[in-house]
């Protein structure tokens, strides 16, 4: 299986999935691709020639691949309280710089800013899939990978400077 490495293609933002048949096709493609890439933590649709807002991820402690469709995320478990904000709650307390590699960028690692803790969901709009992630709260490597894959879907690469 050949991964897309052309930055002109990877910089194109992906389209929302609204159709069940299309979702089913993309899920099969992603899960098949992940079988051929046993060391891959995550894989976005545009990395395998698709153009839709869907990615696969191997979440820590799970035996099967999880799928996110039309994903969104927000920072942390809960927003800071009014008291925390008054006390000078800092973004530095919720994000850090991580060194990442990407399957589509061979042989290079980049420092990227990522949030330590996120809530991520699939905007399913009535679509169904047995592989949808049931969790919504993520920390550590899972949070980092989800942000990486959502960057792919938004047409951003770690080589662009790692904007979230």
> What average pLDDT values come out for the chain (164 residues) when binned by 10 residues?
92 97 97 94 97 96 93 71 44 74 92 90 92 88 94 94 52
pLDDT of residue 148: 95
pLDDT of residue 89: 41
| Strand 54-57, strand 66-69: pairing | antiparallel
Contacts of 110 (CB under 8 A, 6+ apart): 99, 100, 101, 102, 158, 159, 162
pLDDT of residue 79: 45
pLDDT of residue 8: 94
73 closest CA partner among 27, 112, 117, 128: 117
Q: What Rg do the C-alpha atoms of the chain give, in angstroms? A: 16
Residue ranges in the chain assigned as alpha helix (H) = 7-10, 20-36, 82-86, 140-153
Intra-chain end-to-end CA distance of the chain, in Å: 28
Domains and CATH numbers, the chain: 8-160 (3.90.45.10)
pTM for the whole structure: 0.86
């Amino acid at each position: 299986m050949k991964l897309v490495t052309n930055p002109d293609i990877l910089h194109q933002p992906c389209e929302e999935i609204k159709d069940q048949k299309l979702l089913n096709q993309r899920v099969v493609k992603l899960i098949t691709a992940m079988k051929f890439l046993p060391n891959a933590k995550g894989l976005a649709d545009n990395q395998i020639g698709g153009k839709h807002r869907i990615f696969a991820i191997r979440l820590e402690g799970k035996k099967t691949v999880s799928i996110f469709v039309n994903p969104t995320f927000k920072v942390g478990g809960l927003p800071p309280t009014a008291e925390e904000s008054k006390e000078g709650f800092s973004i530095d307390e919720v994000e850090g710089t991580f060194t990442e590699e990407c399957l589509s960028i061979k042989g290079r690692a980049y420092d990227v800013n990522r949030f330590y803790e996120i809530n991520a969901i699939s905007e399913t709009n009535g679509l169904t899939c047995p592989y949808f992630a049931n969790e919504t709260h993520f920390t550590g490597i899972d949070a980092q990978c989800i942000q990486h894959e959502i960057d792919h879907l938004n047409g951003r690469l770690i080589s662009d400077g790692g904007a979230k």
